Every structure is written in C-alpha cells, then in structure tokens.
Structure 1
Amino acid sequence: MTATGRFVNKILSFIVFTLLDILDFLLCYIYKILDYLIEAESKPCYCSSAKEAITSSGKILVSEHGESKIVRLTSTKLQLEEISDTLYTRPSLLSEVSKSSSDELKRGNSMKQSSCHEKINNKRGGRGTIRSTFTTNSTIVEMLQGRIQKLPIPRWSDCDCKTCTCWTSSCKESLFVKADGAKDNVQEDVLFIHGFISSSAFWTETLYPNFSNTTKSKFRLLAVDLLGFGKSPKPTDSLYTLREHLEMIDKSVLEAYKVKSFHIVAHSLGCILALALAVKHPASVKSLTLLAPPYFPAPKGKQASQYMIRRVAPRRVWPLITFGASLACWYEHISRTICLVICKNHRLWEFLTKLVTRNRIRTYLMEGFFCHTHNAAWHTLHNIICGTAGQMERYLQEVKNVVKCDVNIFHGKDDELIPVECSYSVKSRIPRAKVKVVENKDHITIVVGRQKDFARELEQIWENASAIKS
C-alpha cells in the first residue's frame, strides 16, 4: 500500500505541477499587462534570462565560477550581493521547452550577426574585431542612483494598510523589535529570530508570557521582525540577501540596544541567519539554540542551491506542507497571486477567522503569515534558504572551531517540511551540539503548544551558558 501511495503521489504530482507550470507561464504575461496598466511600467521577472531580469531593474549581473552576484549601489558605493541561481534556474517541462525554443532563436540571430560581422571585417581588411565588454563608469552609477528610493511605495498587488506600511512614517529605517524583560539592570540579552513567513509574534505570544519573573529580571528579550516581514520595512527594491538581513539585525538590535554579548534562539530559516550571525560575532554569542535547522548536505557533484530547492520543495502534492513550499519556491507568479489574494486582503481574512473561530483560536500565527510582500518572501526564500546552501558547511565549521558556545538543537519528530535528519546532520558537523527530538511535534508545534516546557528548557540553557562563562 505504501508503494502504491507513492506511485499515485508521483503521477498526480506530475499532472498537477505540469498544469501549474502552464498557469505560471500565463500569469507572467497577465502581470506584465496589469503592471503596465496600473503602474505604467512592466517590471522584469525571473522567467526571462538572469541578465535581462536583473540589469533591466538597475542592477548588474556578475557570474563567477558558477555563482551569481549583482553589483548594486548602496548610498555612494558599489557592492557585490550574492544571489541564488534558483531565482532564475528552476527546471520544469515547460521551461525546458521554452528554453530550447529560445536557444534556437538566439542561435539563428547569432549566425546572422556573425555573418554581418564577417562582411564588415572583410570590408575593413580583416582588421576589425567585435568585443563584448562591460565597464562600470559614472553613467552606470548615475543609473543606479536614479533607481534608489528612500521610501518606495508599495506595489499595487501589496497591502498598503497602516500595519504593513508603518515603517514609511519614520525617517529611520530599522526593523521592528519587541523588547521585554529586564530594562534597567540588564545582565543578559537574548535575540529571537523567526522562520519563513512568520514574525516576532511567534515568540512574543508563546514564550514571553511563560518566562519566569527571575528570568525577566535578568534577561532582556529581543524578538525581531525580519526585513520584509511583520511590521519591519518591506522595501520594493531590495533583493533580501544575506548581507541585507544581517546588516539590518546589526543596526536595529545589536547597535540600537547596545548589545555586547547575547544568546540566540532561532527557528527554521532563522537558523541560517543565526549561524551567519554567530560567525560574524564569534566572541559575542553565549549560546545558540536552533529549532528545525534546514540543513541538507549536498552530495558530491551536486550544486548545493539546486539540491536544496528539491529537498525543501520536491514538487509533490502530498504532504500538504511540501505542496505549499513547492508553490512558494517554484512559481514566481502563482506565489504573487497567493500574496495578492491573502496578504493584500489580510484584514478581511483576520476578521473572518475571528468570526468563524469566535476567538477560540489565537490569530498571531496568521497575522505573521499575512504581513509580508511577495518580493520579500520570494527573494528571502531563494537567497537565504537556497542561496546559502553552499555556505552552510563553512558556517558550521566556523561554529565548531571558532564560536565557543553551547549549541542546542530541537526538532519535532513529525516535522514533514524539515526532517529530523537535518538536525543530526548539523550535529555531525558540530559534535558538541545537543539534539533533542520531541515526540508528536511538527515544524510549528515544536514551540506552539509546548511553550511552557520550552521556556523552562531555554532558561536552563541560558543559566548553564552563563555559569560556564563566569
């Protein structure tokens, strides 16, 4: 029966995702028309070539040893940003057919051009040469400067309510941070980093009320809304790269609250940022607690980012959580449509949820899910989860050898999105890490539903770390 179920899942998945490939292809042109009619500009998408998608948006693509980076202007200097190749390379049946047709067309054009160049060279006596060069000059810098907006307005398909745009009313662009606990006599700081399409409420509504008075008198609790999520800024011109996320955390939390040393608690996608942050501040991290870290070691010969997207989003209709992840990972325009229906109208959905449930169910998880933009979710998903897959080995090696802090890992045994093997893979790279697998808990209920127990576990971890440091 198990084998039959897998076979049916594969056949059904092939049919469903082939139809979704076609739908996303059609939505690409629909959104180009709508964007032009509503915003008087059709912004490029990743259905086209990477160079066209990025350079036409004012950013310059640089390819280096199979990796992709873009040159972008920040303030007055040019910076290299690492982007994931999964943004523009996601093989599917439709994309392969489209690509082969496009290659044939380009091949025909190149033959015509080479013929013309040959004729020109012959006229010049064979001395003429055609070179393709790209130089960064003042004109390019001016072009990039002209596209920088301090407070970019939301796109028509994004929500423009006060919650989603509250950051635009402040001239200081920083992340939303919910602080609790010690205020005057702060002995310890704790940074909480949420996962994908979530918010600080994942921590503040579950753990904050369950910490003891003793903990709240000693520890300052800092839960952050990541860039593009919750009440934090959602810039429309950002690519939500690792550097951007880390710099915003540094500026909004570590610098703003004058944090010298701190504990980190992170969930899912937040685990990647936590590891990168620990590597960036090795002497400052006192303990590292990871919940369901998305670490899939790529086999030799496999490209890490492409292997990652197939593990997180395997293009299967079952289980439902992987189906949702596949929609979010593989389909730029379908996921934008989902954001248009859900996120833009989140106030309506929140009202209906409260009406149906009669407030029996807290809506903080839904609020975190609703308050983001498609641009933020799409780029964070690819540039952080997929794009950093090749760097995870280095991060884990640095934590093992340089970051001398306790590492604790928690994982729900029933997690269907990030399997338990991921936590054991992290332990294989960091032998001192302690792994606790919680029975009958999944990707969300590893915290939600067991918040009292988890609060006690965290308090013990922090106390032990403080005792060792002292």
Structure 2
Amino acid sequence: MATLVQSGKWIQKGLEIIIAAISWMVFLFLDFLEVFMCIFYRLLDEFLEGKAYSSCYCMELMEEKEKTGDCHHVAQVEVDGESELSETLHRRRNFFRGLLGSLGISLVPKGWRDGESFLQMRNGTRWSDCGCDSCVEWMKNADDPKLHVVVQEPQTQVKLYVFKEREAENVIFLHGFLSSSSFWTETVFPNLSESAKQNCRLFAVDLLGFGRSPKPRDCFYTLKDHLEMIEYSVIGPYQLNSFHLVAHSMGCIIALALAAKHSKSVKSITLIAPPYFSSLREDASMVALERLAAKRLWPPLLFGSSFMSWYEHLGRCVCFIICRNHQMWESLLKFITRRRNLHFTFIDLTRHTHHSAWHTMHNVICGGAKLADKYLETLRMAKVKINVIQGTRDQVVPIECSINIQKQVQEAEIDKIANANHGSVVLGREKDFTRDLERIWSSVADLH
C-alpha cells in the first residue's frame, strides 16, 4: 500500500514537472511573439493613422533601461500631481525584451519614438476598434460625456421618495471586468421582492470604458478616473446623500475607493468575489498581477487572464479579432444557436476597447491593491457595514481574498457559497442572492 502511495506521488510530481516545462516553452514563445507584434503594430499604426499611436509600455521600459539601467521609477507617472499608474504596466517581465535591453538593442529606430503620447490622443475611433453605432454612441455627447446608468425608481413614489415615513434606499451597483450594468439588470432587478421594489432606488452603472459608457482614448482609466465619472454621472445628478454599494470582482476595488471617499454617506458595502490582497508589501500591485494572472496553462481561465494581462500587443490582437468584429460573431452565434437574443454575458464580453480594458486591468485591479488596506481602515473607522460573498470554487479570485478582508476588518461578514465559482456566485442563484442583498439593506435601514 505504501509503495502505491509513493508511486502516485512520483507520478504526480512528474506530471507537474512536464506541465511546468510545457508552460515555460509556451510563454517563452509568447514573449517572442509579443516583441514581434510590438514592431508590427508600430509600423501599422504609423501607416494607417499618419503617425505612431504612442510609445507602448514595453518601449518605455526599454528606453528607461537604456538611460538609467533601472525601470522601477517609471511607474511614478503623475496624473494631476498624483502617482496613479500601476507599476505592473512597466515591470512585466519578458525574456526577449530583457535580452535586447541588456544588449542595448532598441526594438525600433529612434525616429519612430515621436508618436502621440497617451494624453494627446484624440477621441476618434481607432482603426483596430469597432466603429458601430452602439460602440460610438457616447461620442454624440463628447462635450459632456457621462456613464450609461440604468435607474429603477421605487414603484410607489411620493415626495422625497418616502415610503412608510422612510426615505427610499439608494443602491449603486458596480460590475466586474469585461461586464456591464446588464450583470445586475438581468439578475437582481427582476428578482426584487415587492417591498424592495417600493422602497429601493437602484442604479446599475456601465463603468468607464465598458458597455455603453464612454471609452476615451485620452484616459489612463485610473481609480480616480472611475470615481470621478461615477460621482459626475450618478452621485451628483441624483443628489445621493446616502447609498448602499454592491460590486462584483473588479468593481469591488472601485467600490472600496468610492466608499472610503464617501464614508459618511455609505450605509453598507457588499463585495462579491473581491480581488483583495494586503497592501503591506511595496510590490502589492505585482503580487496582485501574479496571483490573479499567473503564467500558467491550466486552468484555461487562468491562462486567458495571464495572456491578456501580461501581453499588451497580443491582447490587442484578441480585441481586434473579437471586439472589433463583435457584430459578426453575434450574428454567427445567433445563427448557430437559432436564438434571437444572446446571453448578456457574451454581449458584454466584447463591449470595450483594448485601451480601456488594458489600463483598467492594471491601474484598477493591480494598482488598487496597494490602496485596499487604507480603504478598509477608513470604512472600519467609519463603522460602515461590510459584507463579502464568494464561491468556494472561485478559480479567478482566491477564496483567501475574502478571508483576509475579515482579518483586516473583524466586523466584516463573510458568506461562502458552497460549490459556486466566480460567476455562479450570482448567476444561477439570482433569487437567493437578491434576498441576501435585501436582508443586508433592511438590517442597516433598521439601525437608522
């Protein structure tokens, strides 16, 4: 028996070594392909747009190495006097880029380095982005762009939205990465109880760069950018003096920042599968990138995350094929499935640009990691009710993220959903999830 157990361990260890070797070869090839596509897009952008789009982040990294031999300070790019860009934009390791840099070889001639910077880009559609009506509708109000917000008012309305002598509960919903307000309007909104329908005013937001919201080219999609647009599009226009927050995945980072900024107005915050990593380490952003998008082939979802997070130019290729041609893919899928309406998750997956998704991934998910502890401490001091919900089989965000929030804020309530993953923690259990939210809102309302 002991011999069989020992043999099993050796077989498992052998398989792990084989998988690790295959992964190393695959990502080594992707490193080479990324360098090649850097040059390719530089040429193509200049040919199609008159001048190069911008110096990409891998270019900036190599140039700083040439000047100083170090690249760590590149991340201290300032926007309005504050350092907001994640160091993960510049510190993504690439074998061939590092090799060329150490040899003093530049990817492109110096004459190609004078393209427009990110902050000088025009808001027009790029050749590699979709230009259909639904994707550029926001540009009709380019002088006063606001987020796309779906508002569900209380069914029983009287002055000041009062029901049974109580002000209506305002709730702001923030979606996750590559999603939209549909994540909430298709799950929570239809499953509200009659009491909640009469007593709650709901706001489902398309975050900046996603869904039907603006996707400007002259934006870094930092936490500050996202917060200001939510304030400008929701909190300000609707005069929200108090509100609850509900967020999924990436939206949790934005929700924490928003709640910390408006700690006196937030009644509760519900985080579903929050990508929280302690910011005690100086390289918290890199830790978040390596934990959420580790360079591994298995599981497939993790490989997809690593592919899109580590490779700026290869990710742009994917967006060019899928997002730019989303109408074709949608029509093809409708024909194959014989369905008139596709599931909202498939539609949402393509409604972004590479520029918006790339910067949001790094500047919000990774960059926000170094600020998360500060936000939680602010909420703890303000005694804001914090609730965390996560599936035990989440392959995107480790379950330890939720546990660590409770370690940081002992008063936080953690609800682990057995056998649920990153999506099915909500999808497939919409009624139960909605009832959980209503109980949270009601418990807070009873205290006021």
Code of the residue aligned with 1:101 in structure 2: it is L
Select 1:45's aligned residue among 56, 59, 69. Answer: 56
1:215 equivalent in alignment to 2:212: no
For the residue of structure 2 that corresponds to 1:274, the secondary structure is helix
Closer, same or farther: CA 27–180 of 1 in aligned 2, 3 Å: same
Q: Which residue of 1 aligns with 2:400?
A: 421
The answer on whether the counterparts of 2:396 and 2:422 sit within 8 Å (CA) in structure 1 is yes
1:147 equivalent in alignment to 2:120: yes
Deviation at 1:305, TM superposition (A): 1.3
Q: Which residue of 2 aligns with 1:23?
A: 33
| Distance (Å, rounded) in 2 between the aligned partners of 1:241 and 1:451 | 31
Q: Which residue of 2 aligns with 1:335?
A: 315
Closer, same or farther: CA 219–168 of 1 in aligned 2, 3 Å: same
Code of the residue aligned with 2:419 in structure 1: it is N
Q: Which residue of 2 aligns with 1:60?
A: none
1:248 equivalent in alignment to 2:229: yes
The answer on whether the counterparts of 1:272 and 1:293 sit within 8 Å (CA) in structure 2 is yes
| Distance (Å, rounded) in 2 between the aligned partners of 1:146 and 1:310 | 28
Normalised by the length of structure 2, the TM-score is 0.87
Matches within 5 A, 1:158-197: 158-170=129-141, 171-182=143-154, 184-185=157-158, 186=161, 187-197=168-178
For the residue of structure 2 that corresponds to 1:286, the secondary structure is strand
| Distance (Å, rounded) in 2 between the aligned partners of 1:208 and 1:188 | 14
For the residue of structure 2 that corresponds to 1:409, the secondary structure is strand
CA deviation digits over 1:264-311, x for unaligned, max 9? 0001111101111111001100111001110123675x6111111111
The answer on whether the counterparts of 1:308 and 1:386 sit within 8 Å (CA) in structure 2 is yes
Deviation at 1:358, TM superposition (A): 2.5
**What RMSD over aligned residues (CA atoms) do the two structures have, in Å?**
2.5
Structure 1, unpaired ranges of 5+: 54-62, 73-77, 106-142
Closer, same or farther: CA 360–210 of 1 in aligned 2, 3 Å: farther
| Distance (Å, rounded) in 2 between the aligned partners of 1:424 and 1:463 | 24
Deviation at 1:367, TM superposition (A): 1.2
For the residue of structure 2 that corresponds to 1:389, the secondary structure is helix
Code of the residue aligned with 1:278 in structure 2: it is A
Deviation at 1:391, TM superposition (A): 1.2
Q: Which residue of 2 aligns with 1:442?
A: 421
Deviation at 1:79, TM superposition (A): 4.3
Q: Which residue of 2 aligns with 1:278?
A: 259
Structure 2, unpaired ranges of 5+: 1-10, 65-69, 108-115, 162-167
How many residues get paired? 414
For the residue of structure 2 that corresponds to 1:47, the secondary structure is helix
Deviation at 1:212, TM superposition (A): 1.5
| Distance (Å, rounded) in 2 between the aligned partners of 1:20 and 1:83 | 25
The answer on whether the counterparts of 2:174 and 2:246 sit within 8 Å (CA) in structure 1 is yes
1:289 equivalent in alignment to 2:270: yes
| Distance (Å, rounded) in 2 between the aligned partners of 1:362 and 1:246 | 31
Q: Which residue of 1 aligns with 2:113?
A: none
For the residue of structure 1 that corresponds to 2:317, the secondary structure is helix
| Distance (Å, rounded) in 1 between the aligned partners of 2:117 and 2:295 | 37
Q: Which residue of 1 aligns with 2:77?
A: 70
Select 2:128's aligned residue among 149, 157, 176. Answer: 157
Closer, same or farther: CA 24–458 of 1 in aligned 2, 3 Å: same
Q: Which residue of 2 aligns with 1:376?
A: 356
The answer on whether the counterparts of 1:339 and 1:373 sit within 8 Å (CA) in structure 2 is yes
The percent identity for this pair of structures is 41
Code of the residue aligned with 1:68 in structure 2: it is A
Closer, same or farther: CA 350–436 of 1 in aligned 2, 3 Å: same
The structure with the larger Rg is: 1
The answer on whether the counterparts of 1:298 and 1:307 sit within 8 Å (CA) in structure 2 is no
Deviation at 1:94, TM superposition (A): 1.8
For the residue of structure 2 that corresponds to 1:356, the secondary structure is helix
Q: Which residue of 2 aligns with 1:312?
A: 292
Deviation at 1:99, TM superposition (A): 2.1
CA deviation digits over 1:297-342, x for unaligned, max 9? 3675x61111111111110010011101101110000000000000
| Distance (Å, rounded) in 2 between the aligned partners of 1:154 and 1:258 | 33
Bigger shift: residues 157-166 or 40-49: 40-49
The answer on whether the counterparts of 2:268 and 2:441 sit within 8 Å (CA) in structure 1 is yes
Deviation at 1:393, TM superposition (A): 1.6
